[in-house]
Amino acid sequence: MQFPIWIAVAAAWFVPMVADAQEARDLCADRPGLGTPACTVDKGRVVLELGLGDWTREKDAQSRTDTILAGDALQRVGLTDSLEAQIGWTAYGHVRTRDRVSGQVDRADGVGDVRVALRQNLHNPDGSGFSIALMPYATAPVGGSAIGDGDWGAGLIVPVSFDLGSGLSVELTPEMDAAVDSDGNGRHIAYGSVAGLTVSMSETLSVTVEASVLRDDDPDGHATQALSALSLAWQPSDDTQFDIGVNAGLNGHSPDSEVYLGVTRRF
């Protein structure tokens, strides 16, 4: 399954897109952070987002697991003034698990699943003022056992943002998911939300503070995951953004820490 995916991702870089002859909106990037923006890509424009590196650490009394991702790619295409299509895929994942009692180490490598989505903005697609969108998505189980889920998944995200003025904005991202069971066979309900505050430090630099809670009703054990997050985004030009972020777990069901960096480019 890897070869067709590579063709699709590579071809996306060269698909000619003709944008409307109007001034482009401010760059609307999904990265960084836990939440999802309500704004959409301009009609006829393409936004490519790439996670250059991502390291997550999770440990308990029995084991420690380190997960490293590279090439976490997301392509977004503006179909209309308020509707965009997305396709995402992770090119490489490495999982290292160490048994803290015996010292035994297990390693696994692989690619990720493919995720497709539509985001329909219902009010202010440029993200100004009050903005809200609907974003249904589905994941196809084309990845390996290392970082793939093993079955189809789907969900609905409802991004909401409020521009408070003076460089401040608030974002909410409630979602409901048909998440894949931990054994990779079947689905269950998961639901939660992200709340975040973004502060524009200058015309090119912004800082976002977030918190999220996700309830996962997996048949193998129900759990509530809680995270806090801090991220920075720097836009040296109208069409380019670099980002870095860190997430921290707030309870025993959450990963202990996650550090990542990436880049976004609009064409």
Overall fold of domain 2-49+76-84+115-266: Porin (2.40.160)
The tens-digit pLDDT sequence of the chain (267 residues) is 443 444 444 444 444 444 444 678 999 999 999 999 999 999 999 999 999 999 999 998 889 999 999 999 999 999 999 999 999 999 999 999 999 888 899 999 999 999 999 999 999 999 999 999 999 999 999 988 899 999 999 999 999 999 999 999 999 999 999 999 999 999 999 999 999 999 999 999 999 999 999 999 999 889 999 999 999 999 999 999 999 999 999 999 999 999 999 999 999
pTM: 0.89
Longest pairwise C-alpha distance within the chain: 64
Domain range annotation of the chain: 2-49+76-84+115-266
Quick one: pLDDT at residue 6?
43
- Provide DSSP, 117-171: EEEEEEE-TT--SEEEEEEEEEEE--S-TTT--SS-EEEEE--EEEEEETTEEEE
Distance in angstroms (rounded) separating the CA atoms of residues 121 and 185 = 33
Tokens found for residue 76: 């977004």
Q: What is the pLDDT of residue 47?
A: 98
Distance CA 50, CA 263 (A): 5
| The two structure tokens encoding residue 95 | 């999982």
Q: How far is CA 225 from CA 65, 163, 215, in A?
A: 17, 28, 6
In the three-class reduction of DSSP (H, G, I as helix; E, B as strand; rest coil), residue 9 is classed as helix
